[in-house]
A = this chain, B = another copy of it.
Amino acid sequence: MGDEKIAVARRGGFKVEQSDMKRLGKLKAEIRAAYDREPLDLLVRDVQLVNVYSAEIVATNIGIKNGRVVTISSSLPKHTPTVVSDGEHNYAIPGLIDAHVHIETTLLTPPALAEVIVPRGTTTMLIDPMEISNVAGLDGLLVFINGIEDLPYRIFIEVSSRVPTAPGLETTGGALGVEETERLLDLEAAVSLGELDPAKIDTLSDEHLQKIIAAQRRGKIANGHAIGLTGAALQAYATAGLNDDHECVTFDELEERLALGMGVMVREGSSERNVDALISGIVEHGADTRNLMFCTDDKHTADIRSEGHINYNVNRAIELGLDPIEAIRMATLNTAQHFHIEHLLGSISPGRYADFILASSIENIEPERVFVNGELVAEKGQLVVTPPRVAYPDKLRHTVRLHHQLIDEDFMIPASGESIRARVIDLIPGQIVNNAIEATLAVKGGIVIADVEHDVLPMFCVERYGKNGNIGRGLIHGFGLKHGAIAGSVSHDHHNIVVVGVDRRDMRVAVDALVEAQGGFVVVSDGAVQAILPLPLCGLMSEEETEVVDRNLAEVRSAAHVLGCLLDAPFMALSFVSLPTVPTLGLTDRGLIDVLNHKIVPLSLD
């Protein structure tokens, strides 16, 4: 074995949990403790252990050394453990795993997120950091994940496969080509190639197929995103090497995927809710659950707080009639097996991390206590440790830059003649897809006039990486603003600044306010900021605690409603209407995108 520097370098420069030599020393202590040749660090006595391998519940004790489970035994060791904790006859359940999540959706940093998810029993998140990657690229991502090993939960990386999502149709801050993807896949924390858009298979994209091959060469899997795929298209997708899908919404889709050897992640997020349909189908028709997992994909902190996180998926599945141990397996062992990390987690077994929940029920899991790495991290719904705050570097905290100073007149849509028949994006409340409609608007002095009465408003997408000063111009129906403007720097997946408004000065002020705050959500009227949620980390995330973020988010929403906005979640709507990959239309800094035809189209239909 080489020296430690070489070992770390081989792993791509990412600070791993431990060097080989340190790991060796610890492993020896773990083995000695397993043999009862030296004391355990912790013995959790008197638990009803949910064994996800044998599908049995066993009255026993859990012995822990160096953060690992080393003994499962009903007899006590002869060496007195350093600490003995009374399990109080609770069920001991392996820590829950979210199989696919975009952590940026929570608007929180990983340390701040801990208090939201860990008390609900989630101890491992498999994150696809697509948003950060689009903003900050390889180097930014490496900086972002530096320090994740100090969190009170585990993070593994699904290496984002679409950065940018729509090359040529948008300007992004970063890009992950094949080489960058290979570097990331070399990290031990990387467990897969992240969800891959079926269009890339349909069009036989060299870059994306090379990324799949790169993952396979490293013994890692490739995550799918098989939205709506069936028949030959689904088989072509599986042939390409995609190993799972989290976009499955019907039981028929689930059965088809499982039969092709694809895993299925049953998702329950804030808007995409698939547990009821899929689990009901399984309960009614039967299905082998070994390749089923749970995920949230995108779930807001308010929803996590009110209904739970992955424990919600498990609890609801049980309520729908799934066997509790099968439901728990879907959130633990199955995911660990699928991602080739079963030797580390997914069960309470010797050699695995001591990540587990103590709960009084396995039919409705509300953790009494949560242990991660053998340490008590949450109790009765509260985090009981303080995750170390990360001092993120300026590279991630100063990402919003305009190419040049904007003026009010930049927020006008030029046109000739007396009127214009134009394409208009029509929001569908609560959905990320939209309709393409048309409207005829007046033109005065060469400028398109907003039709506030019929809620057809101008919308702009301002390039914010200081690269080219692009401004995309469009029209949108559905926000309902009567005056003022709203703007945000979260705009999938390029995360330029999107702004909608009645008044061009308010729009300019809103964009300037976001540059000043280095990102966020803002509401402006009468030339002044009415409310703002700053998101200075990549323009995507706050560095505040969840309470502060929640309060600010409520304020900006409420301020938007004061301006007449009709939507429950106006900033979410704003963030998805910029997507060049979700039908029907999207607005990027390059212009209006006809999503189904993958091209930029003019605003005017004349």
Contacts and interface: CB of A to CB of B under 8 A. Distances in A.
Most chain B Cβ neighbours within 10 Å, of A182, A261, A350: A261
B53 A243 contact: no
A477 interface: no
A349 B261 contact: yes
A572 interface: no
A24 B210 contact: yes
Contacts of A350: 235-236, 238-239, 260-261
Contacts of A290: 290
Contacts of A131: none
B201 A235 contact: no
Nearest to A206: B24
Given A71-B235, A220-B219, A213 B27 contact: yes
A527 B232 CA distance: 73
Contacts of A20: 210, 213-214, 217
A265 to B, nearest CB: 16
A411 to B, nearest CB: 43
Nearest to A291: B53
Contacts of A72: 235, 260
A56 interface: yes
Given A288-B55, A343-B243, A260 B28 contact: no
Interface string A227-244: 000001101101111010
A288 B213 contact: no
A287 B55 CA distance: 9
Interface string A55-81: 110100000000011111100000000
Contacts of A32: 204
A34 B239 contact: yes
Nearest to A348: B261
Interface in A233-270: 233, 235-236, 238-241, 243, 255, 258-261
A606 to B, nearest CB: 37
Interface in A465-484: none
A410 interface: no
Nearest to A231: B73
A261 B210 contact: no
Contact of A31 (B1, B24, B204, B287): B204
Interface string A404-432: 00000000000000000000000000000
B351 A31 contact: no
A352 B261 CA distance: 10
Nearest to A33: B239
Most chain B Cβ neighbours within 10 Å, of A31, A202, A206: A31
A36 interface: yes
Given A213-B23, A258-B53, A178 B1 contact: yes
Interface string A23-41: 1100110111011100000
A235 B54 contact: no
Contacts of A343: 216, 221, 241, 243
Interface in A429-459: none
A222 to B, nearest CB: 8
A239 B188 CA distance: 20
A350 to B, nearest CB: 4
A85 interface: no
Contact of A261 (B53, B70, B182): B53
Nearest to A29: B204
A81 B202 CA distance: 21
Contacts of A216: 343
A23 B62 CA distance: 47
Contacts of A89: none
Contacts of A30: 239-240
Interface of A: 1-2, 11, 20, 23-24, 27-28, 30-32, 34-36, 51, 53-56, 58, 68-73, 178-179, 182, 188, 201-202, 204, 206, 209-210, 212-214, 216-221, 232-233, 235-236, 238-241, 243, 255, 258-261, 287-288, 290-291, 337, 340, 342-343, 347, 349-352
The 9 closest A-B pairs by CB, nearest first: A34-B236, A261-B349, A238-B350, A34-B239, A239-B350, A54-B259, A219-B219, A70-B239, A35-B236
14 contacts: A24-B213, A28-B204, A34-B232, A34-B238, A53-B288, A58-B259, A70-B236, A70-B239, A219-B340, A239-B351, A240-B351, A243-B343, A260-B350, A261-B350
